[in-house]
Chain A
C-alpha cells in the first residue's frame, strides 16, 4: 500500500509537469467539444432552394410564404423552371420546388393537386434532408390552410411528424453527449498506453521492478491515476455540454458517473493491452489510434448511424465499446433513466473490458524478456 501510494504520488508529479498530458486531458476535450458543437453540424442550417410559383393566386402565395418563412430554407424565387437549370446543375441550389399554375384551382375544387420537388441525387444526404424538411413545411402549411377553411381533417392520411426528446431535431443534442465516447478514449486508451510504454522505453520500468515494487503495482498506480484524469475529462465534457450548449440532461447524475466509469475501465483495459504488446511509444500510438480512436469515431454510432451500415460493419461495431456507451449517453441525456438500455451497456462493456484484462494478464510477463 505504501508502495502504491509512492507510485501514485510519482504519477501525479509527472502529470503536473507534462504539458502534453494536461493538454490531452483538459484542452483537447474542450477543443473537440467545440468542433462537435459548431463544426460538425448535421443540420446544415438552411438550404438554399429555388421556388417557382407559376400562379398568382392567394393560395400559391400563401404556400410560397410558408416556404419563405421556414427556418430550413432560403428561397430564391422565379417564374419559370428553366431559370434554375444551371443553378441546380452547379449545386448552388440544393433543390427546386414548383407550385404549378393550376395549384389553386384544383385545390379549390377539391381535386388532388401536386407540387414538384427536385433534389440533387448526387448528394444523397442533403437530398434526403431537403425532402423531409420540404414535406414538413408542406404538411404544416396544409394544416393551417385547412384550419382556416374550417375543414375538419378530410385527408385520408394525416402524417404528424414528431421528434421525441429532440423536438427541434438539433443534431448538437445527440452529437454532444455521444462525443464523450470519442473524447474519453483519448485519455483512457491512447495516453494510458503511451505512459506505460514510456516506462519501458526509458528503462525506468526495469529499475522500479528491481525495487520492492512489482509490475502489477506499477501498472495499478498508473491505471488509478489515469482513471481519475479521465473522469475529470468526462466531468469537463459534461459541464460544457449541459451548461454551455444547453443540452438537457434528463437522467440521474450518479448513474451517468457509474456508466462512465465502467466505460473508462474498459478503455484503460484496452490501453493496457496495447502497452503490453508494443515496446515503443511510436507503435503504441499507432495502435492506440487505429484500434482506439478511429473505431470510436466511425463505428460507435455518434456520427454514422449503425443501422444503415453494411452487415459486416454492423457486426464489427459489436466489439467497439463506445457503441454501447453512445447508446446510454444519448438516452441518459435526452430521454432519462431507461434501465434496460443501461444494463445492456454495462453488461457488454463488462464483457469487453474483462476480455482486455484477461488477454493482458496472459500476455504480460512478470519478468523482462
Chain B
C-alpha cells in the first residue's frame, strides 16, 4: 500500500451562499511532504478559500481533504496544531509590540515557556527583527510586518506552513527577502503552500497549483507546464520605440501569434501551436518561456486583437509637445519629506512609468499631478496649464483611475457611467454617445443594471478605466490599474493603453508588476521621495548589467538600483 500523500484533496467543491458559480470546483490535488507549493491565480480565483479549507476553518460542500492523514472536517484541531497559517493581513495585532505578538501566539500554540527564549532568539535573528522587539506592530513597515507574521506562525515549529498572499502589495525587494526566508525553511523538511498572484513566483516552486475561476487548470511541477510553450517563445529586437507598439498590434490583430508583449526595446511573442514565428519580420531569437506564457496558453490566449476604444478615439496631434511636466515638486508632511525636488517631463503619446517600493512617494506624486494635494514647493503642469493657477483647465485634460476600486459600489454600472460622465462635464447627446461607446468597447452591456460592487474584479477594473477615458482626455493617470487581475485581463488593459498611446494619449502609470514596466517609454525609479534612476527600460537594465547578472530583468534592475542607493546612503 502506498502511503497517503501529505495533503490529499479529492473532489473538493465549495459554493458560497448566493453565489452563482462555485468558488472551488472539483479540485483534485495531491502534495508530498517537503514541497514548496505555489498556489497561483488571479484575485477571486479561490486561493484564500482553498487555504481556509485546508486548515479546517471552513468545511467543503462536497469531496474531502486530508492533511497529514487528518480529515479536515472531523479533525481540524489536529491539523491546526501542526500547521502555521498566515492570513492575508498577517493576523497581527497592530497595537501590540513585536514581542507581545510573539508571546500571544506562543501562548496560543502552547509553546513551553522554558524553550521560548531560545526559539524567540532564533526567530528574531532569522527575521532580523531583533532591534524592533519593543516596537508596536502597527508602526512596522509592510515588509517587516510580513516577517513578524511569519515569525508568529513559525513559533511552534509547524510541519505545514500556509501563507495567503504574503507578497501582495509589497515591493520586489521585500518580496525577494521573504521568498529566501521561506525557501530556507523548506530545506528543513517543512511543507509550504504559498498563495500568490505573481506568476513569476510560481516558476520557482517545486509544485504549482494554478487556479482560475475555482478550477485547478494545472497541478504539477512548473517545468512540465512550460513544456507546452517550449520552442514557441521568441524575441525580436532592433525596433524603434514608436514602431514596436504598432508592430505588436499588427501581429495580434492579424492573429499571427498566440500572445505578444513589449519588453523594453524588444517584442516577445508566443507562437500558435506548431507554427513558426511570422517570417516577414525577423530574425527571431528563441527565448525561454515563462510560466505566464503557459498560463495564457492554457487559457487560450488573449481574445482581443486591437483596442476598440482607441480605434474610436480621435487622433491627437503628433507634435511631440511636452504634455505633462513636474518642476521641482516637493511635498513635506511636517518634518517628513514624502517627495523631494522631483522633476520630469512626458511627451505626447508616451507612456511614463513611476516605480518604487511602498512608501517611496509614488502616490503622493500622483496626487500632486492630479491636483489632489498641493505641493510644498515646485509646480505641476498639464497641457501647459499650471495645476496651482488654473486647476480646472488643467484637470479637464486628465482622466484618472485611482488605486483600488474608486467607483460607487451601490450604484449600477450604468449609473456609475452616467455619474462620472457628468462629473467630467459631458451632457446631452455627447454624454449618451460616449456612454454607449464605453458599453460597447468594454463589453459592459450584460452588466449594466448590476451593482458595481458585485462585479468580478476584471469587470470592475474595466468599468473604472471606462469612467476615466469617457471624456477622451489627452492625459491618462493610472495608479496600479492591473493589480490582482488575471493575465488575460492584464493583456486587454495593455492593449488599450498601448493603442491609446499610438493615438497620441499621454499615459502616466504605477505598477508592482515589473514586466508591465517594460511597456513604458520612460521609467523613473523613485525611492525615499527622490528620483534614483530614470531612463528607458533597456537603459535601466543596462545600468545593473554585470558578470554576475549578464541578462538582468526589470525586477533585477529595480532591486539592484534600490540596493545601490541604500549603500550610498549608508556611505
Contact = CB atoms under 8 A, between A and B. Distances in A.
Interface of A: 2-3, 5-7, 9-10, 13-14, 17-18, 202-204, 206-213, 367-369
A367 B57 CA distance: 5
In the complex, which of the residues A5, A206, A207 has the most CB atoms of chain B within 10 Å of its own CB atom? Answer: A207
B93 A14 contact: yes
B85 interface: yes
Contact of B110 (A2, A202, A203): A2
Given A7-B108, A210-B85, 16 more contacts: A6-B107, A7-B104, A10-B96, A10-B100, A13-B95, A202-B89, A207-B85, A207-B87, A207-B91, A211-B105, A211-B109, A212-B109, A212-B110, A213-B108, A367-B57, A369-B17
Given A6-B108, A212-B108, A204 B55 contact: no
Contacts of B109: 211-212
B72 to A, nearest CB: 10
A210 B57 CA distance: 7
Interface string B67-81: 000000000010011
Contacts of A206: 52, 57, 85, 87, 91
B347 to A, nearest CB: 44
Per DSSP, chain B at the interface is loop
B409 interface: no
Contact of B104 (A10, A203, A212, A367): A10
Interface in B200-252: none
B58 A2 contact: no
Contacts of A5: 107
A14 B136 CA distance: 11
B508 to A, nearest CB: 33
A135 to B, nearest CB: 58
19 contacts: A2-B107, A2-B110, A5-B107, A13-B100, A203-B87, A203-B88, A203-B89, A204-B92, A206-B57, A206-B91, A207-B87, A207-B91, A207-B152, A208-B108, A209-B57, A210-B83, A212-B77, A367-B56, A369-B58
Nearest to B59: A367
B198 interface: no
Contacts of B58: 367-369
B275 interface: no
A211 B245 CA distance: 52
B90 interface: yes
Given A13-B96, A210-B85, A204 B91 contact: yes
Contact of A211 (B96, B100, B108): B108
Nearest to B73: A367
B93 A3 contact: no
A244 to B, nearest CB: 33
Interface string B1-34: 0000000000000001100000000000000000
Nearest to A214: B77
A2 B89 CA distance: 26
Residue among B17, B93, B100 facing the most chain A CB atoms (10 A cut-off): B93
Nearest to B83: A210
Contact of A369 (B16, B89, B91, B94): B16
Contacts of B16: 369
B294 interface: no
Contacts of B96: 10, 13-14, 17
Contacts of A3: 107-108
Contacts of A213: 108
5 tightest CB-CB pairs across the interface, nearest first?
Answer: A207-B91, A6-B107, A203-B89, A210-B85, A211-B108
Q: Is the interface of A mostly helix, strand, loop or mixed?
A: helix
B95 A17 contact: yes
B135 to A, nearest CB: 13
B108 A368 contact: no
Contact of B90 (A17, A18, A203): A203
Contact of A368 (B57, B136, B153): B57
A85 B96 CA distance: 69
A204 B93 contact: yes
Nearest to A207: B91
B262 interface: no
Residue picked from B55, B104, B153, most chain A C-beta under 10 Å: B104
A279 to B, nearest CB: 14
B86 interface: yes
A127 B55 CA distance: 69
B100 to A, nearest CB: 6
Given A18-B95, A368-B52, A210 B80 contact: yes
Given A2-B107, A367-B59, A10 B89 contact: no
Contacts of A18: 95
Contacts of B103: 6
A6 B136 CA distance: 18
A353 B546 CA distance: 72
A7 B93 CA distance: 12
Nearest to B88: A203
* Interface-central residue, A13, A17, A210, by most chain B CB under 10 Å: A210
A367 B87 CA distance: 15
Contacts of B77: 212
Contacts of A14: 93, 95-96
B95 A207 contact: no
A212 B81 contact: yes
Contacts of A211: 80, 105, 108-109
Nearest to A211: B108
Contacts of A17: 95-96, 136
Contacts of A208: 91, 108
Contacts of A10: 93, 96, 100, 104
Contacts of B56: 367
B55 A210 contact: yes
Contacts of A207: 85-87, 90-91, 152-153
Contacts of A2: 107, 110
Contacts of B104: 6-7, 9-10
A193 B92 CA distance: 20
Interface in B142-175: 152-153
A149 B153 CA distance: 93
A10 B152 CA distance: 15
A75 B56 CA distance: 78
A207 B155 CA distance: 14
B430 to A, nearest CB: 38
A206 B53 CA distance: 12
A13 B104 CA distance: 11
Contacts of B87: 203, 206-207, 210
Contacts of B17: 369
A153 B292 CA distance: 106
B86 A212 contact: no
A320 B109 CA distance: 42
Nearest to B97: A13
Interface string B104-120: 11011110000000000
B43 to A, nearest CB: 16
Contacts of B83: 210
A209 B58 CA distance: 11
B193 to A, nearest CB: 13
Nearest to A2: B107
Contacts of A9: 104, 107
A229 to B, nearest CB: 16
Contacts of A204: 89, 91-93
B51 to A, nearest CB: 10
Contacts of A203: 87-91
Contacts of A7: 104, 108
Interface string B370-386: 00000000000000000
A176 to B, nearest CB: 34
Residue from the set A9, A206, A369 with the largest chain B CB neighbour count within 10 Å: A206
Nearest to B149: A207
A67 to B, nearest CB: 62
A3 B109 CA distance: 9
Nearest to B85: A210
A288 B100 CA distance: 31
